[in-house]
Structure 1
């Protein structure tokens, strides 16, 4: 049943990405493969985290596009297969490695009943997407900062849109991105403890 669910949800994700032009065709194919691995997890929050990251990140990428296109290093808003793999491969890998530990859970056991290895891999998964969301939120919102950013390596002012440029708005957005992913796991796990 998980495979049917994963195929359907993965297909919807790719269709959405092509309609919104948030992924290139190659990016859509890569997203479908990695989504299948994630969506077949027996624990719902793996799916939830990936969807929260993808949908919120895609929305922010399209936010004030005309302004962002004025900055040379920002580039295209459609993500390529390379970008998709960079953002999602490690997440999918942790799901694949932890599947056996999750399969050993009995019906009715809670989010806090996993083996140590499954728990570590789960925290790696959450941390991975929290970092990815922090990076995406920071780059998509930080570029809109009214103040001049500073380069993280030299602490000297640089033009907006420069890779490595840091602003207060970008730092706040990064914190928000990580928090959004954390809350997307924590809230359902506390409110609804049955992982099945």
Structure 2
């Protein structure tokens, strides 16, 4: 059976066909369509042995190569019949194949999952960088800002590594399509600044992400999720937005360690010894990420006033309101979970610890304190947020925390799981923040 490094190298060779896309124009997808067609016909022999993954041997079919080639074909077609830039197609394909190759190489020396993730990020970023620059060169476009290339490459590689950490190897098509769509979307947004700015953003987010992993407050996928979200937030929103979300990740993560053994005995502790994974990160921060992306897109697609105006302000308060909710709900659960005599929020009747929708006055107080902290950070670091705005963020957080408890008491465990409830709670907090800010006339961004 072919070694994993050799097989990854073979896939990298096929993926490198994307580099000729700028020369093929409307036929950019043809090389990968041809590869998919050939792969369908191969059932044994040296080519099969080179590309076959463990699952392929059972059925005698190169499902992995076929799926990858078809996904690349789809992106190639999008780059010719839609507005997707060719560099997004090329960058996405090379991110996957060179990320996988680098990850397999480093895994021969270490089985540490962090080492494999770092290998994918570095290899994927280099591959994406080469793909974007080569595409620009072949297209005769010398106006692509170096900072933008670095930002796109790092973002694509981080998303690829994140998906690779939570998906199976056979899910390569999902990875390449997701990275391609991300690069396409980011390409339509604003200039991220200078290489120096992006470099600092990367250094800060990586340092914070690794610290969360080292402190056992995040798993590998949770760490990658945090770095990915942090990079987009600091580059597209700014340092103030980044500070808001990092305060939540930091304090929220540490709160899971608060009297952990006692919470474990009560059955209310986070799994994996409190290390939060990607599903937990995104259930709490997906609304915030959407708000950041919408804020960055507002000057282009929703021009109001000076380019952000009221639309941008609404997204800012949606962002802060959702994070305030996440902080409030996390502290309410993690602190309140160690106290006795919880009551169901809908009836106020005593229930057992760990019951969905149960609250304690200590937890409510801790949750309110968490929302207050987010409001204070926003006032200190976001110029457009004043005392009234801080009040909006506080109210949004407490409202979202309450929605979380209500959903827990009524639908959680049956129709919805915990992650879905967290998402809906942050969505409600973000909506409350945006509506209140707009209604009070404080949504405009200066």
TM-score of Structure 1 vs Structure 2, range by shorter chain:
0.7 to 0.9
Match of 1:188 in 2: 381
**SS, match of residue 171 in structure 1:** helix
Distance 2:361 2:319 in 1: 27
Q: Does 1:53 align with 2:53?
A: no
Decide which of 144, 149, 158 is 2:338's aligned counterpart. Answer: 144
Decide which of 154, 158, 171 is 2:364's aligned counterpart. Answer: 171
Decide which of 321, 327, 331 is 1:127's aligned counterpart. Answer: 321
Distance 1:81 1:125 in 2: 19
Match of 2:209 in 1: 14
Decide which of 251, 267, 271 is 1:72's aligned counterpart. Answer: 267
Distance 1:69 1:138 in 2: 16
> Would you tell me which structure has more helix in proportion to its own residues?
2
**SS, match of residue 256 in structure 2:** helix
Check conservation: 1:42, 1:102, Cα contact below 8 A.
Answer: no
Check conservation: 2:255, 2:335, Cα contact below 8 A.
Answer: yes
Distance 1:102 1:55 in 2: 31
The structural deviation recorded for 1:100 is: 4.3
The structural deviation recorded for 1:175 is: 0.6
**SS, match of residue 69 in structure 1:** helix
Which has the bigger relative contact order, CA under 8 A and spacing at least 6?
A: 1
> Which stretch has the larger CA shift, 168-177 or 40-49?
40-49
Decide which of 92, 101, 124 is 2:289's aligned counterpart. Answer: 92
Distance 1:132 1:92 in 2: 13
The structural deviation recorded for 1:74 is: 2.4
**Larger gyration radius, structure 1 or structure 2:** 2
Check conservation: 1:43, 1:102, Cα contact below 8 A.
Answer: no
Distance 1:34 1:167 in 2: 32
TM-score, length basis structure 1: 0.84
Unpaired segments ≥5 residues, structure 1: 104-112
Check conservation: 2:222, 2:276, Cα contact below 8 A.
Answer: yes
The structural deviation recorded for 1:96 is: 1.3
The structural deviation recorded for 1:79 is: 0.7
> Which stretch has the larger CA shift, 170-179 or 26-35?
26-35
The structural deviation recorded for 1:44 is: 2.0
Count residues in correspondence. 184
The structural deviation recorded for 1:102 is: 7.0
Decide which of 147, 161, 176 is 2:354's aligned counterpart. Answer: 161
TM-score, length basis structure 2: 0.39
Deviations 1:88-143 (A, max 9, x none): 1211111111124579xxxxxxxxx9500000000000100000000011001101
**SS, match of residue 291 in structure 2:** helix
Deviations 1:27-49 (A, max 9, x none): 11222221221121353210110
Match of 1:107 in 2: none
The structural deviation recorded for 1:152 is: 2.1
> Which stretch has the larger CA shift, 28-37 or 114-123?
28-37
Check conservation: 2:256, 2:269, Cα contact below 8 A.
Answer: no
CA RMSD of aligned residues (A): 2.4
Distance 2:260 2:354 in 1: 13
